[in-house]
Amino acid sequence: MKFSTAIFLSLFATALLLAYTDSRKFGSLPHGKRLRKIKRSPNYRDGKFQNIQPITSGGLGDVLRSLFALIGKLKIEGPCIPSVKTDLSQLDIADDVLFWFGHSSYFIQIAGKRVIVDPLFSEISSPIPNIPKAFPGSNAYGPEDIPEVDYLLITHDHWDHLDYETVRSIKFRSVICPLGVGAHLERFGVSAEIVMEMDWNGSIEIGKNFKIYCLPARHFAGRWLRRNKSLWASFLIETGDNFKIFIGGDSGYGTHFAEIGKKFGGIDLAILENGQYNENWKQIHMYPEETIRAAEDLMAKALLPVHMAKIYLSVHPWDEPLEKITELAKDKNFRVLTPLIGQRVSLKDQAQIFQKWWKRPA
């Protein structure tokens, strides 16, 4: 299907209609005290946040070209993604486990704390209907399946990582997010009292055995046309027994991975994006080869590839990222974890085996 001016105007009009009927989902730009704090950040210059390594791809034109390339795929039926349903409310709080919900959404329970990262339980993850739409089967879990968590962790404000309906539906005691994202959350109805905004290289210590670091990523922010008014980030959870989980968020490949690996002396589990890549945004998302390199830079013992198997945001086959990452990692000195959606991942079980569930019958 070829892009035309009429299609663009139709999409744009639809977005405007959505903004008019429920503008809260578009969030809010930082202002007042929050903006004054942002302006003191060393990462905020010339009226916006900046990457450590500048990017020359991934601009608005690149994003729109990628969006239009998807239009021809809208009538293609995606796969029915298999899943395993686990009753998370019955988990023993002493168990150190992770459950992936597809794309970049997952639940972590470790050191007696529960964290949910970038939860996305909506069928649509953009302001435009059906672009993109979740694959059948990928929404096996809903907000009602998530027990109250200690921390909702948001890596940045894009629609597929900060979902209005999901945030309003799940229960959490506190939110940890990069600078400026709190403005969106307050617009969604989240109390400012429970929102903790962080800058790169900041940290929060929670008791004696749980610490969260906010770290750099190579990406951008913006829920509509205003870019980089809030920060994007990766995070690292470190427990009292020195177990470290790196939460990569969205990021192109960059020098920050090696710097983080060196700073922390290696990572037990690196959760890195591996999907939705294309040439239009090659500096803000990673190809599988770069995901492997990032895991090596981090000195990771295990890699959980995410940002795939739920929605189309690029034009590669849905299962290509999984096929490529497992092939590329065969001779590496780290494990690649490939759980089904909802499958229990035992964080400290180095012998757990995962099936190649995406393989199509011959």
Q: Domain limits of the chain? A: 5-346
Comparison of pLDDT for 76 and 179, the residue scoring more? 179
Residue among 116, 147, 120, 340 nearest 237 (CA): 116
Which pLDDT belongs to residue 296? 98
Residue 91 has a pLDDT of 97
Phi/psi region, residue 58 (left: phi>0; alpha: psi -120 to 50; beta: rest), is: left
CB 279 within 8 A of CB 319: no
| CA 140 to each of CA 80, 87, 144, 211, 284: distance values in angstroms, whole numbers, following the listed order | 11, 12, 11, 31, 29
pTM of the model as a whole: 0.91
**Phi and psi dihedrals of 143, rounded to 5?**
-55, -35
Reported as a single tens digit per residue, the pLDDT across 42-84 is 999 999 999 999 988 545 555 555 565 555 554 445 678 999 9
Q: Give pLDDT, residue 64.
A: 58
Residue 76: per-residue pLDDT: 46
Task: Output the six-digit token pair for 295.
Answer: 């895991």
Domain 5-346 annotated CATH 3.90.1150.10: no
Average pLDDT of the residues in 112-123: 95
**For residue 213, which of 167, 259, 264 has the smallest C-alpha distance?**
264
Of the chain, the end-to-end C-alpha distance in Å amounts to 30
pLDDT digits (tens, 9 = 90+) for 221-266: 998 778 999 999 999 999 999 999 999 999 999 999 999 999 999 9
Contact 339, 288 (CB under 8 A): no
In angstroms, the CA 362 to CA 206 distance is: 50
